[in-house]
Amino acid sequence: MSITISGLTKRFGQTEVLRGIELGVDRGELVALLGPSGSGKTTLLKIIAGLEWPDAGRLSVEGEDWLQLAAQDRRIGFVFQHYALFPHMRVRDNIGFGLSVRPRAARPGKAAIAAKVDELLHFLQIAHLANRYPTQLSGGQRQRVALGRALAIEPRVLLLDEPFGALDAAIRRDLRRWLRGVHDATGSTTIFVTHDQEEAFELADRVVVMGAGRIEQIGHADAIHDHPASPFVARFMGATV
């Protein structure tokens, strides 16, 4: 689904954490929000998810005004850094959870949920983990399951907030390749938050560089690297290369 954001501002008390955000995301695109800690990335993601409300501005998805829609009506898939898998549920039940709690009219039957979960387990290459509990999984495996749970509802928009942030470098690289493959196969419109340049540049179709509540530059990895649009971007690139 295409996303259009304009003039979005958000304050927490006296602090303006988003200052007039303008951003369009195309249907099926994978965009990375890249910036230092505190630049407003998570707040922007939460506003898209319906977990925070802006003070001003517009947010529409396929032309529909999402600021009029409650979070549960947006059909968002969300993956956080600290896996929110249910510890008492097996992997297959974690993945099926989002489907089993959908409104009655949209809820598939038990057999249809099981079939959908099986399909995802295979597609995500985690079928061998189906009957394990989250405590029996590595960090990387948990994030694969978390993505499975997010994808099960066939989200209109997929939001990933530093999903690999707690993992070590080698596993992050594996997961990046895996996620890019999953994205290419599903074509979900995806926004990925990270403060890791390499991750953003490898994964994303376009990178949105944020600093202090503003978008400093939007572009393809090479353009940002070779032609930083502001001293902030140049410093940030230099600081974390």
Interface contacts to ligand ADP, rule CB under 6 A: 12, 17, 35, 37-43
Place of tokens 């009029």: 68
Q: Contact, 126 vs 141, CB < 8 A?
A: yes
| CA dist 69 → 26, 61, 132, 218, 232 (Å) | 20, 11, 36, 27, 35
Q: Which is nearer to ligand ADP, 40 or 134 (CB)?
A: 40
Q: Which is nearer to ligand ADP, 18 or 117 (CB)?
A: 18
The closest of 106, 147, 98, 100 to 123, measured between CA atoms, is 147
**Shortest distance (Å) from residue 67 CB to ligand ADP:** 18
**Shortest distance (Å) from residue 210 CB to ligand ADP:** 7
Q: Which is nearer to ligand ADP, 151 or 210 (CB)?
A: 210
Q: Which is nearer to ligand ADP, 32 or 137 (CB)?
A: 32
**Shortest distance (Å) from residue 37 CB to ligand ADP:** 4
Q: Look at residue 7 and give its three-state secondary structure.
A: strand
Q: Contact, 149 vs 98, CB < 8 A?
A: yes
**Shortest distance (Å) from residue 162 CB to ligand ADP:** 8
